[in-house]
Structure 1
Amino acid sequence: MLAPVEKPYGAWLSPITADLIVSETIGLGQIALSGDAVYWVEMRPTEGGRNVILGRTRDGEVKEINPAPYNARTRVHEYGGGAYLVAGDSVFFSHFEDQRLYRCRIDDSIEPLTLEGDYRYADAIFDRFRNRLVCVREDHTDKTREPVNTLVSIPLDGNKRISVLASGADFYASPRLSPDGSQLAWLTWNHPNMPWDGTDLWLAPVETAGSLGESKHIAGAADESIFQPEWSPTGTLYFISDRTGWWNLYRWREQQIESVTRMEVEFGVPQWVFGLSTYAFESAERIVCAYSRDGVSHLAIIDAASGVLEELETPYTEIGSLRAQAGYAVFIAASPTEFPAVVQLDLATREVEVLRRASEMSIDSGYLSIPEAIQFPTTAGALSHAFFYPPKNKDFTGLPGERPPLLVISHGGPTAATNNVLSLKIQYWTSRGIAVLDVNYRGSSHYGREYRQQLKGQWGCADVEDCVNGALYLAQRGEVDRERLAIRGSSAGGFTTLAALTFHEVFKAGASYYGVSDLAALAKETHKFESRYLDHLIGPYPERADLYAARSPIHAVDKLSCPVIFFQGLEDKIVPPEQAEQMVEALREKGVPVAYVPFEGEQHGFRRAENIKRALGAELYFYAQIFGFDLAERIEPVAIENL
């Protein structure tokens, strides 16, 4: 074995290329079970980000349900989720191009189920008693007001007349029909709450004709978040609540709420999208569940009668989209050394079978950086969380006395979380000699409601301070070069990035992916789902316009003097291109090195392979120019003004 070659950090040659990332990796999502078949969604960058439903029979035959050009993706809340449903011999899905619901039958015929119109559908369930779907509908027909969300029923007998079952709340989610078809449960919430702030669980009888009787409030409040209501096989309503400060499992029985679990862990997750699932009934007696402790997922079985929890040993640290049937569970799982995969677990033998991997490529462990979970002190006497990835490449080592550059990643959301699973988009950097700190700043999920609430009124402050202090913590430990600290982030993480670069003098470069630069513009222009999100994160607008202006990087460009590269989808409705373009123009006029890479046809998040590849390469090229290291590979240059 050859000894590693001494070479400057950042200039290492890596087998983890942008081509490799986009050509051999897919996204996996939303598992469904029907009979002996397992279904899931694949997002394929090489097909322009098309979402394809796959069905796998017990004997291993895999079938593509929606052939091109059909794209199973809904735009309800813009973020979507819950875009398909399997019922009997049919699969129903929302087609991205026109947002109509379609029905695919066993003979592979596909026909529209809903009429043309500016409507969107998500989170459907099948009502076999009345031969209909019940789902969330988002009505965009009246452009003079914000979209209207309701629960509706859609008949399957050819009559395309849709009936509204529940209306009046700002948002609806998770309609769930009791096993005997007599009761419907669902969630609602209202502005300015987001679903992780406070939701309400409702229950109503279903009349013979299909309408709902008088609804009853079961649980939830403005300061209590309810997640994933589900009926047990025997007709007991279960749900997850964070009423104790941690998302735990409860049930509604004999007109009372009973606690099923009492743990300082998170059984719930923020409902950014529809169709999320962290527990499922294997039988009336056993519940299979996934929960998070300190940012790491665990799999367990709960005895429904006693609430006793038995943890199941798995090699995975991130588990989601969990479904179960008698004898087995299926979920999406990953670890620091394994790509996300659709996994089936035999609950009797505890044997794991991988049904589909996000990537079939094999990466030599000599090129993989294994993250270290760290806590570090930050402002107000608080502790923050992160995963630290040191540089790793078996072929190279840094020059004597040299410390590596550090790239801090600020996740989006901001009420979301990062995890420690294998990501080639992180290993892309570490295998080239650039350390990475992936921060779960205050406000992130997976650490309890109190930690989430620490961002209340503090967005642009607490999150920024945590990213700054995390970088300084590693520099003080001697892990990274204090003079070569960079930060990157997308969406809300892009705002944190821009705020860190503007209001602090710690980072020497940054990359903003469709990041927010003008908070007031975001409050006025963004879509319905997040239109009042900032009320909690900053304060009500326009009443606290002073805070919006004070924390907006666009109004403090005079304080920004380090190079920045911007990446932006030109069809982004969540953070419009003007946010990036105004910032670019301001830096251009000031004479600060700046680069702008716009993408036609992209929205909030890049899905096309060629654009993902271009963004990665352009960002690496940018850092090489700013930090002065040579590239070990040929990369298409990006124009950097004022350099």
Structure 2
Amino acid sequence: MSELSNPQPITAGDVARGVRRMAFPSVVGDEVWWEEERPDERRVTLMRRDADGTVRELLPAPWGVGNRVHEYGGRSFLPVPRRDDKAIPRMGVVFAHAEDQRLYLWERDAGEPVPLTPEPHTEAGLRYADFSLSSDGRSVLCVREEHGRARASGTDGGPGAQAPVGAPAGDEQTAGDHGTAVEAADTVAAAGAVSPVDTVGPADTVGPADTVGPVGGTEPVAVEPAGTDGAATAPVPDAPHRGRSGRGGDIRRSIVAVPLSGRGAQDPSVIRELASGADFYASPTESPDGGHLAYVRWNHPRMPWDGTELRVAPSQGTEYTLKGGVDESVLSPLWVNDSTLYLASDWPGWWNLYQAGLKGQAIALYPAEEEFHAPPWRLGHRSFQVLSSGLVVALHGLADMTPSLYDPETLDLTPIATDLTSWSQLDSDGESVVAIAASPTTPPCLVRLDPATGSIEVLRTSDLPGAGGDAGTADDAAPFRIPVPQAQTLPGRYGAPVHVNVYPPEGSGPAPFVIHAHGGPVSHSTKEYDLVKAYFTSRGIGVADVNYGGSTGYGRSYRKRIHKEWGVVDVEDAIGVARSLVDQGLADPDRLAVRGPSAGGLTALMALTADTFACGVSYYGVADLLGLAESTHDFESRFLDSLVGTLPGFTERYRERSPINRIDEIDVPVLLLQGTADPVVTPDQARTMAAALGERGVPHALVEFEGEGHGFRSAEARIRALETELAFYARVFDTDFGLGVRPLTLSTAPPERPRAAEPEPGPDAAPTQAGSLSANGSAGTEEALEREHQSG
């Protein structure tokens, strides 16, 4: 039995309100701007720090930034610098307004923000993300996502397809004449040759670094025979998707140039479409002279960490693929000059930095078996920046990234000394660099790095419980201990390594332990400051964060371990870690729990089919893979092709890997926490799982959070979720854990409408209605917010 030694356990209120979430910092002259969450107001706003250190809100309520491209969104603003040309707007900001998803321009002392894009015909039907300024400063280049438009053929060249929204129009022509070249190239690409096992694919030539991989495949053709991992016989580049797409069949994406004049709000024709025809786009950026447009694209069924193309469109000439393919992930192109790009590519096995000329072979700047980029779950992240001196500040590492200075002349990579161990989201004005950084004992903070001296200035820190405002480090302000993880590499399936961060609890002796499986599943957990883990460890419960096979941060081979093995490799790794902790004497074998959000919820539920865990907790987790394949949003609608297999050929495998079909093997209590407005894992998954558990008499509880999406945004929801989870462990382990509320009542009967009895509210909980936890938050993702501090 673990004896508690900490007299001040962390409360759920500390967790929900204790950390200010900041993201996407930008250097704007002598100021710094960034996005900052306001949980109590249920919005994300823009903040700025003046040269004198004053911090103030840039956009007052009710304005809030946020975009829902790919549902996960990303960077939602772009500073518009002051120019001498009077035709260019004064210092201001272009932002996506969370409420209606339109783009607005706001200038200081100019009144209300001015819309730049038209009102959509359907709610949030036009979305914009991944912004950059055109070379002439007159337009914003971005990814546009249109909802509610049928794509009869999947490309703009087929019968029934929509015509481009914009066309060259007088003085609104921007970014050269890229639109004409790209549209022509995509029309040609759509007329490629027919493969024996695929539909029409693009006729693009393969670039110097391209490799040809497995066929993308479209339904109803089954690329792989049922029950095997057989390869298709005629590999070709992926074609734009025209088959099964969950909810994404009426979604169309393109790269557009939005004039800063505001004319596009009333006349959509002046919003020029620069690239279209592919399923997904990212990172549009124009060369300094305006002669070339570079961007990243990919098609279903690939995810951006599987295979992308870096495309270059000359203002005069034909667009082409510079680097990338179906088995190479190319990300974040950045112009060094008019004819040279830096980029990240995972060929041949790690996301490293490359230099590419407009026609020449791409060259690895610093080949290393570590990652210089992270998976682009959200658009707008960058892990490297070029300084005016020509030096490059780059983040790199295994899972957790730290900065180094790369010299292209000497080819040296020099680490920058820092106690902050997890860095992300770089931005630079050419001289200084800003980022979000953290450590196991320091919450994420906004920092400025001077590359010339290596000095690091903390510009804004996270509020801590009892700190009464900003604090320099957790040790300065926290009235409790923050657990420091112990990194371990344990043997997994067939001897493959499994990376895990172990957070020992307060006290001594074998303790109850929670095995945490991150979401994604192609993502990873970092070792940065985490009050959720402290919430448990301060009560004598240990936590083990498992970066199971398939996690990012450890190279392509480790990431590919989950290929066709989701629901197997991740589950075995979680079980193996739990048993190893028991063997080490750290964990009590009778008090092991497994938890996970989203994809990690499937891992947790599947792990309950083995005789290892005493209970399991699923936060908006997947219970039915076939249901997920048919109902999830477009970005992930073909994700399961690589994680499980293509349909319909692998239907039986989908059933075998779905917890809903393994109920007869689950005999331990289950807690299901679910938002009612979840567009990724829809509420019917948790409800069906609860009903099935009840039919079999398995103790369970389903708690629904009204209005919450894929992740809980409001402080009330976060508080109630944590208190309910702790009450669940108290009930199962028959231990108080300093709870302050009665243990959760579990049901063993099938309810007419799945619902759970609630624990009595703790001191931090808001009043709720019985049977449903009320939280009127907007759709968003806790996983996405976590990835902001994991991704470069």
What range describes the TM-score normalised by the shorter chain of this pair? over 0.9
Going from structure 1 to structure 2, the CA distance change for 1:285 and 1:149 (only over 3 Å counts) comes to: same
The offset of 1:29, in angstroms, is: 0.9
Q: Deviations over 1:249-280 (max 9, x none)?
A: 11112622122111111001101000111000
Superposition deviation, residue 366 in structure 1: 6.0
Residue 31 of structure 1: aligned partner: 25
Tell me which of 40, 47, 53 is aligned to 2:46: 53
1:168 aligns with 2:277: yes
Please identify which structure carries the higher strand content. Answer: 1
CA distance in 2, matches of 1:525, 1:633: 38
Distance in 2 between the 1:275 and 1:348 partners? 26
Judging changes above 3 Å, is the alpha-carbon distance between structure 1 residues 433 and 586 closer, same or farther for their aligned structure 2 residues?
same
* Aligned equivalent of 1:426: 533
Distance 2:280 2:367 in 1: 29
Structure 1 counterpart of 2:776: none
1:235 CA displacement: 5.0
The question of 1:279 aligning with 2:384 is answered yes
Deviations 1:29-48 (A, max 9, x none): 11222222211111222222
Say yes or no: does 1:381 pair with 2:375: no
Q: Taking structure 1 as reference, are residues 636 and 92 closer, same or farther at Cα in structure 2, changes over 3 Å only?
A: farther
Among residues 268, 277, 287, which one is paired with 1:178 in the alignment?
287
Q: Which residue of 2 aligns with 1:4?
A: none
Q: Are 1:131 and 2:138 counterparts?
A: yes
**Please, which of 96, 101, 104 is the counterpart of residue 102 of structure 1?**
104
Out of 589-598 and 628-637, give the one that drifted further.
Answer: 628-637
Correspondence for 1:612: 718
Letter aligned with residue 509 of structure 1: C
Match of 2:457 in 1: 353
Distance, in Å, in 2 between the alignment partners of 1:216 and 1:19 is: 53
Per-residue Cα deviation, 1:70-101 (whole angstroms, up to 9, x for no partner): 22110000000021111121211111211111
- Which one-letter code corresponds to 2:284 in the other structure? P
- Cα drift, residue 182 of structure 1: 1.7
Paired residues of 1:248 and 1:266 also in contact (CA < 8 A): yes
Residue in structure 2 matched with residue 324 of structure 1 by the alignment: 428
Query: Quick check: 1:116 aligned with 2:119?
Result: yes
Cα pair 1:12 1:632 within 8 Å, conserved = no
- 1:588 aligns with 694
Specify which of 201, 204, 212 is matched with residue 310 of structure 2: 201
Amino acid at match of 1:83: S
**Are residue 42 (structure 1) and residue 56 (structure 2) matched?**
no
Q: Greater CA deviation, 34-43 or 330-339? A: 34-43
Contact 2:328 2:345 in 1 (8 A): yes
2:374 to 269, 274, 290: 269
Q: Distance in 1 between matches of 2:55 and 2:420?
A: 24
Partner of 1:446: 553
Q: Give the deviation of 1:298 after TM superposition.
A: 2.1
Secondary structure at 2:642's aligned position in 1? helix
What does residue 673 of structure 2 align with?
Answer: 567
CA contact (8 A) 1:568 1:598 kept: yes
Matches within 5 A, 1:387-402: 387-392=501-506, 397-398=507-508, 402=509
Which of 69, 76, 85 is the matching residue for 1:83? 76
Q: Does the 8 A contact of 1:281 with 1:325 survive in 2? A: no
Q: Tell me the residue number matched to 2:543.
A: 436
2:701 and 2:319 map into 1 onto residues whose CA distance is: 55
Structure 1 residues 419-470: Cα deviation after superposition (integer angstroms, max 9, x where no partner): 1111001110011100110000000011000000010000000000000000
Q: 1:382-439, CA deviations, whole angstroms, 9 ceiling, x for partnerless residues?
A: 11000001012xxxx35xxx52101000000000000111100111001110011000
Which of 285, 306, 313 does residue 417 from structure 2 map onto? 313
Separation (CA, whole Å) in 2 of partners of 1:305 and 1:623: 57
TM-score w.r.t. structure 2 length?
Answer: 0.76
| Alpha-carbon distance between aligned partners in 2 of 1:339 and 1:132, rounded to the nearest angstrom | 37
Alpha-carbon distance change, 557 to 143 in structure 1, aligned in 2, over 3 angstroms: farther
1:219 aligns with 323
- The 3 A distance-change label for structure 1 pair 405 and 631 is closer
Q: Is contact 2:306-2:327 (8 Å) kept? A: yes
Secondary structure class of the residue paired with 1:534 = helix
Shift of 1:364: 4.7
Compute the displacement of 1:489 (Å): 0.4
Match runs of 1:446-525 below 5 Å? 446-501=553-608, 503-525=609-631
Identity of aligned residues (%): 41
Instruction: State how far apart, in whole Å, the 2-side matches of 1:499 and 1:351 are.
Output: 47
Amino acid at match of 1:548: Y
Counterparts in 2 of 1:150 and 1:10: CA distance versus 1, 3 Å: farther
Native 8 Å contact 2:504 2:542 kept in 1: yes
Q: State the match for 2:767 in structure 1.
A: none
The residue matched to 2:397 in structure 1 has which SS?
A: strand
Counterpart residue type for residue 490 of structure 2? F
Match of 2:55 among 62, 65, 77: 62
* Structure 2 counterpart of 1:188, from 297, 303, 318: 297
Q: Is the 8 A contact 2:731 2:744 kept in 1?
A: no
Does the CA contact (< 8 Å) of 2:671 and 2:728 recur in 1? yes
Aligned to 1:203, the other structure's residue is in SS state strand
Provide the secondary structure at the position in 1 that maps to 2:673. strand
Q: State the Cα deviation string for residues 608-629 of structure 1 (Å, max 9, x = none).
A: 0000000000000000000010
Report the number of matched residues: 622
Letter paired with 1:64: E
Q: Which residue of 2 aligns with 1:210?
A: none
**Which region of structure 1 is more displaced relative to structure 2, 330-339 or 295-304?**
295-304
Post-superposition Cα deviations, 1:75-132, rounded to whole Å, max 9, x if no partner, equal 0000000211111212111112111111111215312211111111101111151611
**Are 1:635 and 2:629 an aligned pair?**
no
The yes-or-no answer on 1:140 pairing with 2:143 is no
Cα shift at 1:305: 3.0
When residues 326 and 150 of structure 1 are mapped into structure 2, their CA distance, relative to the original with a 3 A threshold, is closer
Query: Alignment partner of 2:285: what SS?
Result: strand
- In the TM superposition, residue 371 of structure 1 has moved relative to its aligned partner by 0.5
Change (3 A) 1:290 1:357: same
Distance in 2 separating the partners of 1:474 and 1:570:
36
**2:95 aligned residue:** 93
Asked if the contact 2:629–2:640 (Cα under 8 Å) also holds between the matched residues in 1, the reply is yes
5+ residue gaps, structure 2: 82-90, 152-248, 468-473, 750-792
Output the TM-score relative to the length of structure 1.
Answer: 0.94
Q: Report the Cα offset of residue 633 of structure 1.
A: 3.9
Question: 2:24 and 2:480 mapped to 1: Cα distance?
Answer: 33
* Contact 2:8–2:480 (Cα < 8 Å) also in 1: no
Question: Residues 452, 446 of structure 1: CA spacing in aligned structure 2 closer, same or farther, 3 A cutoff?
Answer: same
Q: Which runs of 5+ in 1 are unaligned?
A: 1-6, 208-212
Q: How far 1:590 moved relative to its partner?
A: 1.2
CA distance in 2, matches of 1:110, 1:414: 39
CA distance in 1, matches of 2:310, 2:114: 34
Which one of 378, 394, 408 corresponds to residue 289 of structure 1? Answer: 394
Alpha-carbon separation, structure 2, partners of 1:113 and 1:216? 30
Q: Is the CA contact (8 Å cut-off) linking 2:130 and 2:380 kept in structure 1?
A: yes
CA contact (8 A) 2:403 2:423 kept: yes
Cross-structure match for 2:240 = none
* Structure 1 Cα separation of the partners of residues 423 and 438 of structure 2: 7
Q: Which amino acid aligns with 1:355?
A: L
How big is the alpha-carbon RMSD for the aligned residues of Structure 1 and Structure 2? Answer: 1.8
The answer (yes or no) to whether the contact 2:114–2:262 under 8 Å persists in 1 is no
More moved, 163-172 vs 345-354? 345-354
